[in-house]
Amino acid sequence: MCRFSPLHFAQYYMMMKENVEMALNNFDQIVERAKQSFRKERVVIAGADSENILLGAFEAQDAGFASLILVGEPTKVEPMLERLGLKDKPYRLVATQPGNNVVQAAIDIINRGEGDVLMRGNTQTRSFLMRLLDENNGLRTDKRLTHIDLVSMPEYPKLIAIGDVTVTIEPNLQQKKQIIRDMVEMLESVGYEKPNIALLSMVENVSFHMKDTVEAQRLVMEHAENPIADCNLVGPIAYDLILSKEAARLKGYDNPLCGEFDGIVAPNLMAGNLIVKCWQMHAHAKTCGVVIGAKVPVALTSRSDDKEVAFLSLAFCAALDLQSDR
């Protein structure tokens, strides 16, 4: 995938060697990592007539780590570019006709080797995922797809990941193992060694009336015998204990990782998705969303997200792709 001059490779290698060991604790550091690439990620936006997606994507282009391929109906995309003051900026428009599937058109561009990152624009989540999950479309690997959000909150000392928030509705035991592996791999890519992963439940005690607590206990026991990934795995554990040492003290829960977790595996999609939206709306959280497990990074955000989420998602995709080139 490397497209920069061989003359730059030694400089690139030394720079990455110096930086890869450092854990990226905030989004400013992730943006700086994205800017370190000697290339621009070719971002293919499926359904480019989305206001905040366009604003965030062009900001990524202005920052130097993206070039844009806009897929959609010109009668929808071009007036929006004009209204947003983006019409004169560089971009490539791939025109689709009314009724044509913009997601398939975007995937075709990726499969022709003309794009590095796929981004969901103004398309329904189900329509986007159905095409992404289609094994005949060429983007699948031998891994399951997992949608993980990376989150920064004023009250938490570092970035924290949470998943799955879009793809797998009710993950079974094996699917949860894959979510754990994907989350650990993602966190390792931004410098976290042996990350602390929490298996979220309503309570921290095992109850046979609550399937997710039983599965969490089983995952922790299996992990102790045969590690699922290179991580510290704790569960079942309640939300307050994950984020707060004080909550752990008050509840008499003795675990030094409370308040220091790097990732949360949600018991189901509804829990994960609702937590992220609550963080965004009520905890002043910054977030980005990326689908892990496809042949290229996939930026997947909510259509109601602001432009910063789109920008940060592309920065994280660029940082992930930069890591894969090492």
Q: Which of 274, 286, 321, 313 is nearest to 155 (CA)?
A: 286
d(CA 118, CA 45) in angstroms, rounded, equals 6
User: What is the gyration radius of the CA atoms in the chain, in angstroms?
Assistant: 20
**pLDDT tens, 119-160?**
999 999 999 999 999 999 989 988 889 999 999 999 999 999
- Dihedral of CA atoms 149, 259, 323, 314 in degrees, nearest 10, equals 30
Please report where in the chains the tokens 């560089």 appear, as a residue. Answer: 90
Strands 232-238 and 286-292: unpaired
**pTM of the complete model beyond 0.85:** yes
Instruction: Of 113, 131, 133, 112, give the one whose Cα is nearest residue 46.
Output: 131
Share of residues in the chain with pLDDT > 90 (%): 83
Contact partners, residue 210, CB within 8 Å, separation at least 6? 201, 202, 203
Task: Give the residue with greater pLDDT, 50 vs 324.
Answer: 50
The pLDDT confidence band at residue 36, using thresholds 50, 70 and 90, is confident
Q: Where are the domains of the chain?
A: 12-140+294-326, 149-287
* CATH number for the domain whose boundaries are 149-287: 3.40.718.10
How large is the greatest C-alpha to C-alpha distance in the chain, in angstroms?
62
How many Cβ atoms from other residues are within 10 Å of residue 15's Cβ? 13
What is the pLDDT, as a whole number, of residue 48?
97
Q: What is the pLDDT of residues 77-109, one digit of tens each?
A: 999 999 999 999 999 999 999 888 999 999 999
pLDDT score for 38: 76
Give residue 228's pLDDT.
Answer: 98
Q: Write down the pLDDT at residue 325.
A: 54
Taking 50 as the threshold, does the pLDDT of residue 6 lie above it? no
Q: Which CATH architecture has domain 12-140+294-326?
A: 3-Layer(aba) Sandwich (3.40)
Summary mean pLDDT of the chain = 91
